[in-house]
Amino acid sequence: MANEDYRHLLSPGRIGAMALRNRIAMTPMGTNQEREDGFLGERILRYYEERAKGGAGLIIAGVAAVTWPDGACNPNQGTLSDDRFLPDWEDFAERCHRHGAKAAVQLQHAGKVAQEDVRYGRPMWVPSVPEPSGRGDMFADLTPEELAMATSAYAAPDAKVEYHVMDEADIAFMIERFADAAERAVRAGLDGIELHAGHGYMIQSFLSPKSNRRSDRFGGSVEARARFLVEVVRAVRARVGAGTALWCRLDGEEIGVEGGISQEDARRAAELAEQAGVDAIHVSAYADPTSGPAFTDAPLVHEPGRYLPFAAGIKQRVAIPVIAVGRITPEAGDTAIAEGRCDFVAMGRRLLADPTLPARLAEGNPEAARPCIYSYQCVGNVFLRTHARCTINPRMGREHLGEPGAAAPARRVAVIGGGPAGLEAARILAERGHQVTLHEREESLGGRLRVSAKLDSEVAGLVAWFERAARSAGVEIRTGHDSSASELLGSADAFVVATGAVRIASVAGAENAVPAESFGTLLTETAGAGVIVVGSDVIGVKAAEALALAGHRVTLLEQHGFAPQMGLPRRWRAADAISRCGALRVQVDAVREVAADRVSFTHEGSRAEIKADHVIWASGLSAAPGFANALRCLGAEVHAIGDAAEVGYLQAAILSASRVAGAL
């Protein structure tokens, strides 16, 4: 595919005084990778540098607090609240420029969602005291450990939930703090400044009629509610001049929020921001912040291109460029720019999965970029107040640790197993110079990931990428032969065993049930069959979700939580989908016996039994170390990875593969 297919996305662009090599921006994201003391630190600097090196035209550093530590939302968050932080931002700008990208910072005050203020007993600054509202299911389906992490700010010794309603002196003070931070950004050599006026933060809370119930000149009409934003824009523009690009991020709508920001509100706010002096509008969205499923409507969009209509509506009302965001593929982004619905496309998770995506597009080889599967572990980790990580890219957040060097000496390495761990290990080993042969007993590659691939096109794309990348690296792949340890013994100097995990029939009669990995055979049945899914790991939950969506009467028996291996936003969506389809979720103490058409269990201390047309066994997953042990007994050098070493599912499997392959 030639780069002509992305000629609009890859064409040069301009935001105010800032000229960009292409129309791809890295969207600002809070990742919790900065230091705890407000400094950026090497970890996040290398993270940003990789995306600049990968070809993005603009790198926007996320959520820099303007009054840090006050008003911070994350325990690890950068800031421009004081001159002492300037050296890190100078370093950030230099690294972006070194690779041809422009550098920008998103300025933010978290306002009513400033968890760090709660943690340390400081009042949260708001336009009005928030009224309790929303679905309130944000903490559903968290494990006890996750719940403790997510609510850790509220459990701190000095924690206190208290609000400070801002008077006009407070508003004037905050306007100056935004202007101070913007001036520091310019002094640090940054090219652009984004004002975060979305996602429930301070400026957005003034814009939203849901959270702004003031009766003074900063509340009421759209123009009055936008006054704070307008005055911030004017103050910042006065400080930084016309030579620095300035834009704001707005919510195109508060989706599903009664009395929230409407699309017309957003369009009018964009007009007012343009009149005040911004050079562009970055269009996102917001939803019910108390609801897990709503969180994947906004600000974390699950539906591809969901916010493009918001961007297009604002584009019709302003003369300045519009930046679109929200799960936009390169193809959709190129088309949107060509059709005049937006001018730039901001990408987030796609650039976490593979920082080189823009470069791959430019060289006409988009298939070489590792695809995002939208498992949302990145955002899920931030919700738990820990470092963002990517399920499928083990280097994300670990860029500062460096890349493995060339193998010395190069050796013959046999990889046993063609699932994600085996394929990742084989690719890295081959790229480092080893002579690699991968052995897979099945005809097809992908291991248990093939189950998800049948249901999810993004996962199917990842399986295809693993195979392409391994072959491109020079891996010899042999499928369809179940070789023994003794057969392979002399074929390699070292063995990497990635034979995965197996389902153990740990309950009487479980062997009579349909294995979870084979549940797809039931999708072809006429809708309405009764199905019991025993076990709620990732595959069990995906089986229940798929069968419920197909119209079957599903009962999911949960014994150890609801898919704790899933990233939280994806878990919330799965639970919501299962619920909407009428499936029944039952927490059980223990499963006692399984038959082909019934399951007995204890529930709240009492024995119970349910019947169905089919029973799926999705429990008892255990590592399969047999092949590795057989090789060790023969005196071979063996390295077990992935579920063959310890059941940890996709993210852990890929991480262990990268670590072993990088060190061998």
Positions marked catalytic? 201
Contact assessment for residue 545 and residue 578, using Cβ atoms and an 8 Å cutoff: yes
Alpha carbon distances (Å) from 189 to 16, 22, 24, 55, 130:
16, 20, 21, 20, 38
Angle between helices 308-315 and 330-338 (to 10 degrees): 20
How far apart, in whole angstroms, are the C-alpha atoms of residue 258 and residue 655? 43
Using CB atoms within 10 A of its CB, is residue 18 exposed (0-12), middle (13-18) or buried (19+)? buried
DSSP assigned state of 200: T
Q: What is the 3-state secondary structure (H, E, C) of 245-312?
A: EEEEEEEEEECCCCCCCCHHHHHHHHHHHHHHCCCEEEEEEECCCCCHHHHCCCCCCCCCCCCHHHHH
Residue for token pair 């903490």: 139
Task: Write the DSSP string, 102-144.
Answer: EEEEEEE--GGG-HHHHHTTPPEEESSPPPP-S---TTTT--H
Q: What are phi and psi for residue 116, nearest 5 degrees?
A: -70, -30
First to last CA, the chain: 35
Q: Are 601 and 520 in contact (CB under 8 A)?
A: no
Cβ neighbours around 172 below 10 Å, total: 12
φ, ψ dihedrals at 281, nearest 5°: -125, 130
Q: Find out whether 508 and 594 touch, Cβ atoms under 8 Å.
A: yes
Give the CA distances from residue 4 to residues 275, 356, 521, in Å, rounded to whole numbers and listed in that order: 36, 18, 42
Tokens describing residue 431: 């790229």
Euclidean distance between CA atoms 531 and 611, whole angstroms: 9
Q: Residue 544's closest CA among 535, 558, 534, 533? A: 533
Q: Are strands 621-623 and 501-503 parallel, antiparallel or unpaired?
A: antiparallel
Q: What are phi and psi of 515, to 5 degrees?
A: -60, 145
